[in-house]
Structures are given as structure tokens and as C-alpha cells.
Amino acid sequence: MRKLYILVLLFTTVLSAQEKTETTALDVHYFRGNVLPHTDDLQHFLQGHPDGVLISLYKKTYGHQAWERAFNYPDYGGYFIYQDFKNDILGKVYGVGAHYNFYILNRKVQFKIAQGVAYTTDPHDKETNSKNAAFGSKIVANTNFALHYTTRLIDNFDFQAGFLLTHFSNGRIKAPNSGVNSYGVNIGVTYNFEEPLERQADTLPKVKITEPIKYNFVLRTGISESSIVGSGQKPFYHPAFYIDKRISRKSAFQLGTELFLTQSYKEYIKFMAIAYPRENVTVDTDYKRVGVFVGYELFINRISLEAQLGYYVYQPYKSDIPIYDRVGMKYYFTKKIYTGLSIKTHVFLAEAMEFVVGVRL
């Protein structure tokens, strides 16, 4: 019994002696703004001023890991968003996801990046809500960007005010899918559950971190539906090869090529050939597309953010502009194997929400 008591005492002593490396905080923001009409069929959505609430629970870092010092001690955590579009067609959305907060200007300015999923209350329905060309499904992807000014208010409370951009889209998993972008101002408070810790100094700011050229083999896949409502969901396969060159502890540039095997695109070509014979499209028009792209990758611990801009060098059927873009997030299981999600679009119009698996050699 005495030995057990000694072991418990030692265990609790070790736990209490462990150094605390993070603190917890909670943000609550109210926002109000406008819908950004990026397509003509969104004009009738501009009836009111959308508003909502954004709640974030997160950890504040203090430099106990190298990536924290490299990014000026960011925050990371989860969020909940509620937005009322003040419109009977669009309805309301409820979303959850993960986010990062980055700081500049002596930590007075905060930049928030948030990515998650959302539930829509009034998606498109051919009988009850046929005018909703924005949401073709109840579940959509959600992306938020916010820029805040932040300052201490009183005791453990901070005051924040700034600008917020929200985006909701299902990545054309199901048509229709114009998606909705809104912008506005927000105001809120932060509650810090603990007193701040001392930040660890960055000892590597002058060390140049580079790597040799890496070779990436990637498969992006999923399901999508053409812009013809009710045409059905079909699989797609977007294999790619690219090289990347890491130029710093944070950044790498990319150059590559990819093949687009999109079955819904193939069915769309057949539909257009039959329904619109004057368009000079035949049912045997090749649906395959080949693109070349340049990209940028921002490394944050095991997670990285990716942006690419591409051009179709082979596109027999030209239903879209020849330029496409992609944004995504990747998670590295190891230094060589990763997975992730990305959205491929033509400017504001999404074509596919892609599930990513890749190898970096």
C-alpha cells in the first residue's frame, strides 16, 4: 500500500511539474453584410443584409514548437458559424470546422482562416424551392476569411472588430451549385481562460531552410454532377504529376501537369450534342482535358495550404474558360505521404470538390 501511495505521489508530482505550453480562448462575433452576386442568377438574392454569429474556441501558442515561432505564435482550434441570408430562397446555414489565427503589427491585427462543412436549411428543390441555384444539397463546404483589429478590453476580455468573408458551396457534388459569397463587418469579444505565457524566442529566423526538388504523384477524386440539374452524380479522376521546390521553412513553389477524367463532363457533352445540334458538338467529342499549372504551398506544421493556377493545353470541348484555379488543404502523415481536400473552380464557379492522396519523393 505504501509503495502504491509513493507511485501515485510521484505521478501527480510529474504531471504538476510539466510545463504548460498553451492557453485557451473563446471568441464570439456578430457579423452583418451583403451577398456578393458573382453570377446573374444571384441577383434576386439581394433582398436583405445577411447576418450571423461566429464562435471560435482555440489554443494560443507560445513558441514551444518550431512552427509556432515561424508563424509568429498563431492560434488554432474549432469554430461554429450561423448565418441567416435574410432570404426565403437561401434560408440559413449552420457550419463547423477548424481554423487558424495569424498575427501581424505587434499582434494588433489578426487574420483568421477557417475551413469546414455546413448544413443548409433550404437547398434547391424542383417543386418547393426551384429558384435556389446556389445550393444543390443540404451539406456544403464552408470557407471563412476574417481580418480583425484586436485590443485588451478589461481583465481577461479582448475587443475585436473587422471584416469577414464567408463562402458556402458544395463543389458541384450536386447541381445546381452557384454557391454564395458574402462580405461584411463584424464585432466581438474574446475571453482568455488563462493568463498569457512567456513566448519562446525564435532562434532560427536567419537560418535558410531549403530542400532539393521533390516529385509529387497525386490522385484527386470524388463525385460531381454537371450543370444540368438531375443529370446524376458521376465519379471523376484527376491524376497529376508536379515538382516542387521549397525555398524557405514556410514556402514551396510548384510546376506540374494533370489529366482530367470527369464522367459528368462526358455526359454533359452528350447532352449538349443531342439537345443543341446547332452548337456543332458531336457525341463522340473527347471529354478528356489536360492542364498545366503553377502553384504555391504554405507549410504549417503537418498541415499545408495550397493554391494553384492552371491552363488547359488540351480541351476539345470548350464549355469553360481555359484557365482554372484550385485551393486546398493537405495533411502530411509522414514527410512523404499526404492527403487532403481541394476545390477546383473556374474563377467563382466550382467544378469539383476533390479528395486528395499523394506521395512527395
Regions of the chain with pLDDT less than 70: 1-19, 38-46, 204-208
Evaluate whether residue 56 is within a structural domain.
Answer: yes
Taking the C-alpha atoms of residue 340 and residue 319, their distance in angstroms, rounded to an integer, is: 28
Shared-domain flag, residues 225 and 275: yes
* pLDDT for residue 17: 45
Evaluate whether residue 112 is within a structural domain.
Answer: yes
* pLDDT for residue 46: 67
* pLDDT for residue 38: 67
Evaluate whether residue 188 is within a structural domain.
Answer: yes
Question: Which tens digit of pLDDT belongs to each residue from 155-189?
Answer: 899 999 999 999 998 888 988 888 888 999 999 99
* pLDDT for residue 132: 85
* pLDDT for residue 20: 82
Shared-domain flag, residues 151 and 240: no
Shared-domain flag, residues 56 and 127: yes
Shared-domain flag, residues 222 and 154: no
* pLDDT for residue 4: 44
Number of domains the chain is built from: 2
Evaluate whether residue 239 is within a structural domain.
Answer: yes
Taking the C-alpha atoms of residue 159 and residue 152, their distance in angstroms, rounded to an integer, is: 6
Shared-domain flag, residues 242 and 95: no
* pLDDT for residue 8: 43
Written as nine digits, the cell of 330 is: 493537405
Evaluate whether residue 175 is within a structural domain.
Answer: yes
Shared-domain flag, residues 235 and 158: no
Smallest Cα–Cα separation from 234: which of 324, 174, 317? 174
Structural domain containing residue 326: 214-360
Tell me the CATH number at 81.
Answer: 2.40.160.20
pTM of structure: 0.85
Pairing of strands 157-169, 139-154: antiparallel
Shared-domain flag, residues 156 and 294: no
Amino acid at 63: G
Three-point CA angle 103, 29, 165, nearest 5°:
70
Shared-domain flag, residues 181 and 226: no
Taking the C-alpha atoms of residue 4 and residue 129, their distance in angstroms, rounded to an integer, is: 67
